[in-house]
Amino acid sequence: MTAREDPAARRIFLAATGQNRGKTTASLGLIAGIMRTGHRLGFLKPVGQRYLVIDGTRADEDAVLVREVFDLPDALNDMSPVTLPRHFTTDFIMGRITDDLAGQVEEAFRRVAAGKDLVVIEGTGHAGVGAVVGISNASVAALLASKVIIVSEGGVGRPIDEIVLNASLFEQHGVEVLGAIVNKVEMDSHADLPEILRRGLAQHGIELIGCIPYSELLANPSLELIVTHLDGELLAGEATPGQTIGHVAIGAMQAGHAMQILRERTLLITPGDREDMILASIAARGQQVMGLILTGGFHPSGAVLRRLRDANLFTYLVETDTYTTAQAANAILVKTHPTDVDKIATIIELVDGAIDTNALLDRLCAPGWTPAVRCRHDCHRRPTHRRPPPFHRRPRSRSAPRLRSVRPPGRLRPRPAGDRTEGLLRADGAPSPARISRSSPHRGDGPRGARSAIPGASCAASLPGSHGEESAGAGPGDH
């Protein structure tokens, strides 16, 4: 039985227009909104290029993320049926790989879709990614008889151009494009941008489903990523997983002036010999200063170092100068991990405010789509009540699966070191017993790569030149 012959579960295929557009952000938010209605939901990442190895099985990191966050029951090798290790493309072209990849995707979909009302399918980059091995996003969407949503990012000309270009390839494969989501939209400075985008896309027959506002929290790395991406020494505090930086500032002025520019959860970059700045940061520790990067290789004096450790203020010493360090921190490609509980809660709230999930479900239940098993929720009727408050303040439906990481930020805490693979990085440099090695040469998310947040997992990714998203124009860093 093919996917087309088994219409029991409706499908949404999420595709991006290029690198760092926000596909994972859209996926997490939509999944949370759909599960809140009580629908039985499955998730499929047909082709994965950035993967983890868990108990000997390769699985795309987004499939692992969704399974962890939403506690989905499906097997990882079904949620992520095809992964592309290094040299896979070359081996496929040269005939050394003859597997039926499309068949693997279709069989996995059937298992994931069994007993579900809806399956969210997340693509890998733009519509054409995967064509080199015979399973482009467009062809997979057609194979699985899925409707498509295209995700791009803020602007005017570029997102419209990219969305129209990608839509044309899906349409060539006979795939219906439901519409587009534009991510990272600067609502404060460009309040009229959603209307401009709506009109611009409408001229090409494409509906604007929603605009997700830009969030600095989602764009910034965590303290853990600072440690894993920048060579240096942790002098004080901990790089606790999930502690996301709210703002990055350079302390190059007098300490009194620097304190005036601080915002909530600021990571301050300053030379290691600026003890006035260090002491002022200790005084501002908490809501304003969440950590320091000391540059130039200058160690603070013993007395100052003791105060830093007494305050348990994250302090990381690097050899590079302040300008180079700031550039390196800014260049970190940020991916969402299961431990990023604040980010996940923010994503869900932003997407909930930007996209009418009920209206989207209405379109999936439109005439012409007749599931073999009717949804047990009356989703074809449009709600007449006003939109409920943000997700994490909303009572959970009794029939909806519990979300493991989506709770009010004040109640979110990282798991103890023994429960998560990454554990904690301690100032004395000693790793927790379960900590994953950072020496893997196959990390694809930065110079040294972030460790996985999944027990028993190691990390790998396709690299440029081996059919990775980086070389295909559709890579990591999803918000």
pLDDT at residue 379 is higher than 70: no
| Structure-block tokens of residue 390 | 């943000």
For residue 223, give the 3-state DSSP assignment: helix
> CA 111, CA 6: separation in Å to the nearest integer?
11
- pLDDT (tens digit per residue) in 297-347: 999 999 999 999 999 999 999 999 999 999 999 888 788 888 888 889 999
Is residue 296 within 8 Å of 274, Cβ to Cβ? no
> CA 198, CA 160: separation in Å to the nearest integer?
10
> CA 475, CA 461: separation in Å to the nearest integer?
11
What pLDDT sits at residue 382?
A: 33
User: Apex CA 206: angle with CA 202 and CA 208, to 5°?
Assistant: 80
| Structure-block tokens of residue 231 | 């060579």
Confidence of residue 85 (pLDDT cuts 50, 70, 90): confident
Question: What phi and psi, each to the nearest 5 degrees, are found at residue 3?
Answer: -60, -40
What pLDDT sits at residue 439?
A: 33
Q: What is the DSSP string of 348-417?
A: HHHHHHH--HHHHHHHHTSTT---SS--SS-TTSPP-SPPPSPGGGSPPPTTSPPPSS-S-GGG--PPPT
> CA 218, CA 241: separation in Å to the nearest integer?
15
What pLDDT sits at residue 240?
A: 80
What is the percentage of the chain residues whose pLDDT exceeds 90? 50
pLDDT at residue 428 is higher than 90: no
What pLDDT sits at residue 110?
A: 94
Q: Which of 13-17, 49-53, 57-61 has the highest mean pLDDT?
A: 13-17
Is residue 357 within 8 Å of 34, Cβ to Cβ? yes
**Secondary structure E strands in 98-146:** 118-122
More confident residue, 110 or 446: 110
- pLDDT (tens digit per residue) in 245-262: 888 889 888 888 888 878
Question: What phi and psi, each to the nearest 5 degrees, are found at residue 54?
Answer: -120, 115
**Secondary structure E strands in 237-337:** 247-250, 266-271, 289-295, 314-317
Q: Domains in the chain, please, with CATH?
A: 3-218+336-411 (3.40.50.300), 221-330 (3.40.1390.20)
Of 20-34, 65-79, 137-151, 423-437, minimum mean pLDDT range:
423-437
- pLDDT (tens digit per residue) in 182-224: 999 988 888 899 999 999 999 999 999 999 999 888 888 889 8
Residue 215 identity: S
Query: Which residues are within 8 A (CB) of 303 and not within 5 positions of it... i.e. 6 or more apart?
Result: none
User: Apex CA 82: angle with CA 78 and CA 86, to 5°?
Assistant: 145
Q: With the C-alpha atoms ordered 71, 72, 77, 82, is the resulting torsion angle positive or negative?
A: negative
What pLDDT sits at residue 457?
A: 53
Confidence of residue 107 (pLDDT cuts 50, 70, 90): very high
What pLDDT sits at residue 221?
A: 86
More confident residue, 430 or 115: 115
Is residue 289 within 8 Å of 245, Cβ to Cβ? no
pLDDT at residue 54 is higher than 60: yes
Query: Which residues are within 8 A (CB) of 172 and not within 5 positions of it... i.e. 6 or more apart?
Result: 138
More confident residue, 33 or 1: 33
Confidence of residue 286 (pLDDT cuts 50, 70, 90): low
- pLDDT (tens digit per residue) in 5-46: 454 789 999 999 987 788 999 999 999 999 999 999 999 999
Q: What is the DSSP string of 135-162?
A: --HHHHHHHTT-EEEEEEES-SHHHHHH
- pLDDT (tens digit per residue) in 168-177: 999 999 999 9
> CA 466, CA 470: separation in Å to the nearest integer?
9
| Average pLDDT score over the chain | 78
- Tokens 């390839």 — which residue? 169
> CA 304, CA 392: separation in Å to the nearest integer?
41
